[in-house]
């Protein structure tokens, strides 16, 4: 059973359910066909921090489920937990099972894109449509931006520098936002698990999150690939490769946009995704098991 809405007033904490053996904090709002949102891997990240502008928009037509993946946010961090794609895939499938969801649309951001892609490859029957945004999941030389994100050492100044990397529009990078994200990054347990996930040399973690090209080419789902043209964290070439390799893919590139597509262009992003998901019909060919 999932716990009731958390009464603390912290918007990042919502429901709790055991998913893949892990007590998982997740958001669940709206009605309709389920859509599962997987966040990125920035310091202090949570599902709410990543998707707060998008969840209410998608919830106008869908049931929106956004978990904190283990190692991030307010999901439990079991002692000795090993982090990797097998663990995160098992947690995501465990969440769908715990909520009795046979099939969902899937949206993955950055790190979450790599996880979404792995889910689609390993459990194609559980996914209806796929959205990959600024996605990891293919091999590429690590960018200085991603190396800085994964190598973050907590300080207000370092957080300001990271926000400058994330956003194209510097008006988004306020002192208040930097302070909020810095404080999030130093909550008990947050930095410890974050540092344990991506120790140097960090190219190996890019490689570990990559799916094989031959497997990506067999992805049967209708897929929307989204990227910010000025992204300094994940190269646009990733999304070009995914759009070329996935047979039923379409590509949308936002100009004057960094790695924060869902924040810098929140309204346009939400509309683009809503349109794509609403195309799915009962007579659409379903992916093979």
Asked if residues 132 and 242 have their Cβ atoms less than 8 Å apart, the reply is yes
* Active site (annotated) includes residue 110: yes
Asked if residues 58 and 270 have their Cβ atoms less than 8 Å apart, the reply is yes
In angstroms, the Cα distances linking 266 to 53, 54, 271 are 7, 7, 9
Q: Is 117 exposed, middle or buried (0-12, 13-18, 19+ CB in 10 A)?
A: buried
**DSSP secondary structure string, 17-32?**
EEETTEEEEEEEE--S
Catalytic residue among 27, 39, 227, 259: 259
Q: How far apart are CA 105 and CA 111, in angstroms?
A: 17
Catalytic residue among 110, 135, 185, 211: 110
Strands 249-254 and 222-228, by their bridges, are parallel
User: Degrees (nearest 5) of the Cα angle 232, 237, 239?
Assistant: 95
* Active site (annotated) includes residue 46: no
Catalytic residue among 221, 231, 239, 265: 231
Residue whose tokens read 């209708």: 222
Q: Which residues are catalytic?
A: 110, 231, 259
């Amino acid at each position: 059973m999932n716990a009731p809405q958390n009464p603390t007033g912290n918007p990042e904490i919502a429901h709790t359910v055991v998913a893949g053996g892990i007590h998982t904090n997740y958001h669940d709002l709206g009605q309709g066909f389920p859509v599962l949102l997987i966040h990125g891997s920035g310091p202090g990240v949570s599902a709410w921090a990543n998707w707060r502008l998008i969840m209410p928009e998608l919830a106008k037509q869908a049931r929106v489920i956004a978990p904190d993946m283990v190692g991030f946010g307010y999901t439990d961090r079991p002692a000795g937990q090993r982090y990797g794609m097998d663990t995160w895939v098992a947690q995501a499938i465990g969440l769908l099972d715990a909520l009795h969801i046979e099939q969902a649309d899937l949206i993955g951001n950055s790190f979450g894109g790599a996880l979404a892609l792995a889910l689609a490859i390993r459990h194609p029957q559980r996914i209806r449509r796929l959205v990959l945004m600024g996605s990891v999941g293919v091999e590429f030389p690590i960018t200085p931006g991603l190396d800085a994100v994964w190598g973050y050492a907590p300080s207000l100044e370092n957080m300001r520098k990271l926000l400058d990397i994330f956003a194209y529009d510097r008006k988004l990078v306020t002192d208040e936002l930097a302070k909020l994200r810095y404080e999030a990054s130093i909550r008990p347990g947050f930095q410890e698990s974050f540092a344990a996930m991506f120790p140097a040399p960090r190219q190996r973690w890019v490689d570990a999150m990559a799916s094989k090209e031959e497997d990506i080419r067999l992805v049967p789902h209708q897929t929307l690939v989204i990227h910010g043209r000025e992204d300094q964290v994940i190269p646009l070439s990733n999304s070009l490769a995914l759009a070329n390799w996935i047979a039923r893919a379409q590509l949308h590139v936002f100009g004057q946009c960094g790695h924060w597509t869902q924040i810098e262009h929140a309204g346009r992003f939400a509309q683009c995704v809503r349109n794509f998901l609403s195309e799915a019909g009962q007579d659409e060919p379903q992916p093979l098991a």
